[in-house]
Amino acid sequence: MSEDPLATDLKRLEEIVQALEGDEIDLDRALALFEEGVRYLKTAKDRLSEAEARVERVLEDADGVLKLTSFDA
C-alpha cells in the first residue's frame, strides 16, 4: 500500500524545514528549498480543503440540511 499523498507532502515539508534550519546551507539552496516548501504547503492546504468539503457533504442529512461541526474544536 502506498503512502498517503498528504503524508508524503508533510514529510517532505519537514525535511525542508530541517535543511533550512541547518548551519551549512547557502542562500541559493535556501531560496530553492523555500520555494519548494511553499509549493508543498499550497498542495497540502488544497488537499485539506478538499477533504473538509468532502466531510461537509457527508454530514448533510437526508433533508439537505448541513450539520456543520468546527474542525478547530
* Residue boundaries of the structural domains of the chain: 5-59
**Residues near 69 by beta carbon (within 8 Å), at least 6 away in sequence:** 59
2-52: pLDDT as tens digits: 789 989 999 999 999 999 999 899 999 999 999 999 999 999 999 999 988
The single residue listed with the C-alpha cell 468546527 is 70
Q: Which residue has the cell 507532502?
A: 9
CB 9 within 8 Å of CB 44:
yes
Its pTM stands at 0.70
Band of pLDDT at residue 72, cut at 50, 70 and 90: low
DSSP designation for 18: H
